[in-house]
Amino acid sequence: MSFEEAEILKERAEAFLRNAKRLIEEKEWDLAMFNLEQYSQLILKYKLLVKYGTYPRTHSIRRLLIELGKDNKEILKLLEDEVSLLYITKLEDAYIASRYLPRRYDEREVKLTYKFIIEVFKNVVEKI
């Protein structure tokens, strides 16, 4: 792992989160949801890269959380809490659905997912 590679992941993750906020303001719900998923995935990969020097080549947010949870049980609360788990699975589904399926996201579900990312997910992940 290089410091540069880790920083690129972190910067890209933060850019996806900023872009999600902008897309929400523009009412581009499908793309906003995809950007929220990309933020989640990349910030977890960044944390794994910094901590272990590598990360699994997967798109599964749950798998990334489990890997981080091996040394930090606090992060596993995101998978134990029912509401958080629903948001995590919704984000995972967005990776495929927003690209390949005729699935539309609506304003409410995207805004609630964004709120979850900002108020819950981000706070837990930043503590690692």
Domain that holds residue 78: 3-126
Contact 74, 126 (CB under 8 A): no
Percent of the chain predicted with pLDDT > 70:
99
* CA–CA gap between residue 27 and residue 64 (Å, rounded): 29
Per-residue pLDDT band at 100 (split at 50, 70, 90) = confident
Q: Is the pLDDT of residue 107 over 80?
A: yes
> Residue 1: pLDDT band by 50, 70, 90 thresholds?
low
How much is the pLDDT for 96? 85
pLDDT average, residue stretch 87-105: 87
35: how many CB neighbours lie within 10 A of its CB? 25
User: How many domains does the chain contain in total?
Assistant: 1
State the Cα angle at 68 between 67 and 71, rounded to 5°: 105
User: What CATH number is attached to the domain comprising 36?
Assistant: 1.20.120.330
